[in-house]
Structure 1
């Protein structure tokens, strides 16, 4: 009887049933982790954390608080001061005004004449830590005081999930980037209408879901009908809508989909910088080689169509790196030998701290100390910080500060 029932159920029906079952279970798990009345929120920061972020002595921070200058932090029962990220950013502005000579150090946001940086994080090989890299970089830059917009361009919407949005429940139709770049004028909305605030002060998100695939399906037809022209050409549409928010952000981070489709090409064209994540294993490097070959051919097509491509930097980031694994060390040496300084000096190590944080949909910057072994967390943070600091330095170089 079971065999008969299974035989009667088509593959489409079975897959649909499995999708519904899994969707309900994910929703149930999410409600247990984050009840409907609760919202994902960022931890508070200790005086030591704040002093490190601001680059001042902890005693100086304490004196500011005693003098009633800047912001007034909350106090724990043991008397320790704790700060929110919003208060840290207020302190940045206060110190920048108080010490004009060090204003750029305290408040590193772009100034007049500095162009908004658009960084695409890309690779079409699964497991290269593309989304993990994007979320950690977005959190790091926000903690440095920059205004950041993260765009989830992957229909699987893993980046959105990291920010607490379940794509099938929290992101309705016409609430992704697709809504701002779609071809039908009646349904298209401004980019600002799909931007959401996050629990990180200064960090906003354009969420993703499966509707992003509509752009891949509609673009060939739009090209055939002559709808893709000028600024509305398929590879220019993303860059065009980003101009709407150019005054609002210092950096835009795009988590590109894991394939070379029209969305990825749009992201590459809009980008001022490109970070290619690569796991230093031979299979992954072979896949990256195909990615680079196909990308170069497609970008050449864009240039022939009148698109001008000029990135401020292109860098490769080694991810999930195990420094004691001889084959990985050899692959890393191979890449550094071939590409030189285009491979970031820092590599993000493989660690249980990142994996465990990911299971809770958190970055390392959200993890409360004490929930992970101190040495494990410190090693992981040191690795991630080093990579993010290099990328931040590249941004500052473009702005003429390094």
Structure 2
């Protein structure tokens, strides 16, 4: 028998390939992160921007500093000029002036899943940017990475294979038999003030088997396990964002049962639009089956967001028009345009909101930031509409 033209690939060679890929990620982290590999937030805001964020005048801020009610910002040792306010200082101002946007005690934190069973639709991009937009507004945010690929975990400065212990710091222990009774064990602070997260790594993939094995014996327990875990921490946050795997598995089912609302990112091309249609059909039939096991579950809202939109492509424009007609009131008005700014930031394990200096003065950055801010504002309004205490304020703002 003739030998094959292409030689076979052994497990040893596959392991070598994996190790090489890991070394590339390690080098990238060394280039991007501080020497101790802890990611830091370098954002600073001048007094004008601070006044806009806090909702008080520049004069009032300066008077509060003179009176000692607010600390003055750091000064550059060389020039003596103010460095500007860090985000945690902005939030301190909000607290002093009573302008933090936290929900009232009678309102429930919103659990929002960014979900589509197809990969590559901008799910993790949306979760990371949305979480940071809401944190910039002063909300208390929790991000739960439910995806073993751990893209969101990586963007938040953690190496899933090195920094995360799957037996102690991901959802996996919570899904195991005899695991912790709440999710506090897995919560960790991030370098973003106002954002905590539950990280993920490849070990979380084993949870799919763990949950599948328990499904036949404890179906109700398995389906609502994540929801129960989220209920154990939700009092500490205003919004909890879930980033599930891009597949219909046990964790995705758990996310569907845990979420109060769903945001479906959908690029306007035939393949992704078709996948979203299938996703909605599968979600409908799946939830109907899950109701038989665990009872009915309703959502406060389900919205579809066009992502990776390219106005120069006639097919994108045509499919977006069709999406607007088919989904009508179920579409977000905002659109996440295809932007090199997002790609470039992601290549450096960053988001657009983290860029500083000259990078923020380009027209490309300003346009991209405008798209992201528009999405954030629209989701923020939807979130506030789920809180009964916001009814009067929303009416005064003309949003009801």
Which residue of structure 2 lines up, in the alignment, with residue 125 of structure 1? 118
Q: 2:53 aligned with 1:65, yes or no?
A: no
What's 2:379 paired with?
391
Residue-by-residue CA offset, 1:147-186 (whole Å, 9 max, x unaligned): 111011111000000001111111113221122222x21x
Q: Tell whether 2:314 aligns with 1:326.
A: yes
Shift of residue 25 of structure 1?
2.7
| Alignment-derived partner of residue 350 in structure 1 | 338
Which sections of structure 2, spanning at least 5 residues, go unmatched?
A: 395-400
1:79 to 81, 87, 98: 81
Q: Is the 8 A contact 1:47 1:81 kept in 2?
A: no
8 A Cα contact 2:127 2:243, kept in partner: yes
Give, in angstroms, the shift of residue 63 of structure 1. Answer: 3.8
User: Matches of 1:79 and 1:28 in 2, distance apart?
Assistant: 35
Q: What is the deviation of 1:78?
A: 5.8
- Report the Cα distance in structure 2 between the residues aligned to 1:134 and 1:336, rounded to whole angstroms: 23
Q: Deviations over 1:282-322 (max 9, x none)?
A: 22101111111111111111111133211111001111112
The residue aligned with 2:200 is 208
User: Which residue does 1:178 correspond to in 2?
Assistant: 172
In structure 2, the residue matched to 1:284 is 272
Instruction: Report the equivalent of 1:24.
Output: 23
- How far apart, in 2, do the equivalents of 1:211 and 1:286 lie? 31
Stretches of 4+ moved more than 6 A in 1? none
Would the aligned equivalents of 2:171 and 2:198 in 1 still touch at CA under 8 Å?
yes
Summarize the Cα distance change of 1:52–1:291 in structure 2 as closer, same or farther, 3 Å threshold.
Answer: same
Contact 2:262–2:301 (8 Å) recurs in 1: yes
- CA shift, 1:327, in A, is 1.7
- Secondary structure of the equivalent of 1:75? coil
Root mean square deviation of aligned Cα: 2.0
What is the Cα deviation at residue 11 of structure 1?
A: 3.2
Q: CA deviation at 1:383?
A: 0.7
Preserved CA contact (<8 Å) 1:176 1:207? yes
Q: Deviations over 1:55-93 (max 9, x none)?
A: 334444344334433332123436245111111111111
Give the Cα–Cα distance (whole angstroms) in 1 for the partners of residues 62 and 368 of structure 2: 29
Which aligned pairs between 1:198-237 and structure 2 lie closer than 5 A?
A: 198-224=190-216, 226=217, 228-230=218-220, 232=221, 234-237=222-225
The answer to whether the 8 A contact 2:140-2:237 is kept is yes
In structure 1, the partner of 2:397 is none
CA contact (8 A) 2:51 2:58 kept: yes
| Per-residue Cα deviation, 1:216-238 (whole angstroms, up to 9, x for no partner) | 112232123x2x254x2x21000
The answer to whether the 8 A contact 1:353-1:372 is kept is no
1:369 corresponds, among 333, 354, 357, to: 357
Match among 224, 242, 247 for residue 235 of structure 2: 247
- Confirm whether residue 53 of structure 1 aligns to residue 41 of structure 2: no
SS in 2 for 1:169: coil
Q: Distance in 2 between matches of 1:393 and 1:27?
A: 39
Q: Is the 8 A contact 1:181 1:241 kept in 2?
A: no
- Determine the C-alpha separation between the residues in 2 that align with 1:162 and 1:10: 32
Q: How many pairs align? A: 383
Distance (whole Å) between structure 1 residues aligned to residue 317 and residue 357 of structure 2: 31
Asked if the contact 1:129/1:277 (under 8 Å) is kept, the reply is: yes
